[in-house]
Structure 1
Amino acid sequence: MVNPTQYPVMVIGGAEDKVGPRSILTNFFKSAGGAQATIGIVPCASQEPSVVGNRYTRIFSELKAKSVKVLDIRRPQECDQDGWLQALDSCTGIFLSGGDQVRLFEFIRNSTFATTLKKRLNLGTLVLAGTSAGAAVMGEKMISGGSSGESPNRGLVDLMDGLGFVPEVLVDQHFHNRNRMARLLSAIAANPDKLGIGIDEDTCAAFKGDGTFEVIGKGTVTIIDPRELTHTNYRSSAPTSPLSLHDLRVHILSEGDEYDYRRRSVCMPTHGMVSHF
């Protein structure tokens, strides 16, 4: 039975509050065991891993975690070394920092480290959080780059494999803050079997382990559900030609809202009044 107060996977849109109430980071800390937590920070997505590692070490130490470790992996496949695997074994929570999601993917993919992360997530013995680049890699497919400010088109988004911790989703981060709706729509046109999730800054899709997630933070999570998509011209369009996508379903979720990503449905609100239009 999954503890409903815990979030096994936390997907954060970036720029999460680090100096105020720290609601997202506090929820991760509590989910990882609170005062008994051993938190491992993986900063290899960043070009300044020492700076990033020190920043999160200070935060989780101030929250009174039992132990905080920086898993300062500096080269691809270095994470297969016994030292890093032993460090992972002792952790109750792993935090993937921001930076470059392609760099993070190249460092960790097809490694014993990544396989162990997935096994421990399945066993319920580890909590995983990722912010910005760390959020982008969560799906089986990921957005590796692209642009904004245009109509959806094939050339707007760069796509590649992700690390597959939550295979069903395709994540974009800094979402409304960087005007990335068209980018996510373009990504979903290319991968209509995935659920698009656009996460604003200082906002988190906190997965509960039961097929649902809850929104935490000050922004919104945008859901692009293509399950009932009847037409897209993605395969036949020129790289910069506008895309057609018919019969998409879109949800905008704010703090406290919950979504069942396996059944593709919004959970009945448990807070506030329900309005019918």
Structure 2
Amino acid sequence: MLQLEPQSLLHQGRPQSTRTSVMVIGGAEDKVHGREILHTFFARAGKAEARIAIIPCASREPAVIGERYRSIFQEMGASEIKILDIRERSQGEDPIWQRDLDDCTGVFMTGGDQLRLCSLLADTPLMEAVRLKAQLGQIVLAGTSAGAAVMGHHMIAGGGSGESPNRALVDMAIGLGIIPEVIVDQHFHNRNRMARLLSAIAMHPDRHGIGIDEDTCAIFEGEGLIRVMGKGTVTIIDAKESTYTNSAGVGATDPLSLHHLRLHILSHGDCYDLHRKTATAPEPA
């Protein structure tokens, strides 16, 4: 269960500002113009005092993608930036990488292939340190695209789109468990992935499905509170009170029935409480 610092709790229906958070980004965040999401990560990591670690190992070109984010955060004014360019799983057990993490205020996991990211880092001392620091509110952790997909215990590793929900539409794997109660899908409406997320939730109805559009971020601020920012929407699927699914009794490619789901579509400024299962709109200006 994600636990962050007390100042991030819900206050009068709105989240208070906090430096600590987990930022789950749907991919393709603006890196050129306003950079709203990236500026928010930088600000929460300490602004000019930010010490940022970039983990680019989901990418097939980690050096290129790592340098791209380095230049962005350098331009913003971060005091220190480290690229944890991990190419072999054994590196995640090397104390030198953990020492690099020790004084960081923010960690950013880039996009690429979520299976590659997990195969290199899952259950390594380095990733366990990142997970613990994020859950204790000691760092700001952000993941974009593949870096977002790995946040839950159950992870969408791949699949299709444009079909009715069915079990064959989604490939599941074990993620990093940073926010274990959710299953995340990214590039969500941009790539028509609603049926894919529904298929995943049919298999794991005890989890919340979180679908995040491109250039959009679900910010987990503590005690189950999610705040939405960005240009698109965050879709939340709650199946905990569902009354029926035929998932266990039909073939892998047969369409799924799912009865009595709760669906929330949230846009910039909206909040959602995972524990109370309530959505709130931003207060009028």
- Contact 1:136–1:142 (Cα < 8 Å) also in 2: yes
Q: Which piece of structure 1 moves more, 220-229 or 110-119?
A: 110-119
Partner of 1:221: 234
Partner of 2:185: 172
Partner of residue 5 from structure 1, selected from 17, 20, 31: 17
Q: TM-score if structure 2 supplies the norm length?
A: 0.93
Partner of 2:56: 43
Is 1:141 the counterpart of 2:146? The answer is no
Post-superposition offset of 1:31:
0.7
Partner of residue 77 from structure 1, selected from 67, 87, 90: 90
1 CA distance for matches of 2:263 and 2:136? 32
> Deviations along 1:59-106, whole A, 9 cap, x unmatched?
000110111110101111311101110001121100000000000011
Partner of 1:109: 122
Post-superposition offset of 1:119:
2.0
Partner of 2:277: 264
2 CA distance for matches of 1:59 and 1:249? 39
Shift >2 Å, 4+ stretches: 1-4
Letter in 2 for 1:97: T
2 CA distance for matches of 1:114 and 1:270? 38
Q: TM-score if structure 1 supplies the norm length?
A: 0.96
RMSD: 1.1
Letter in 2 for 1:53: G
Q: Which piece of structure 1 moves more, 184-193 or 123-132?
A: 123-132
Partner of 1:275: none
2 CA distance for matches of 1:271 and 1:118? 36
> Deviations along 1:201-235, whole A, 9 cap, x unmatched?
00000111232011010000001110111000111
Post-superposition offset of 1:268:
5.1
2 CA distance for matches of 1:175 and 1:166? 19
| Structure 2 residue ranges without an equivalent (≥5) | 1-5, 9-15
Letter in 2 for 1:197: I
Kindly, what percent of the aligned residue pairs are identical? 57
Q: Which piece of structure 1 moves more, 172-181 or 203-212?
A: 203-212
1:241 is paired with a residue whose SS is coil
| Matched length | 272
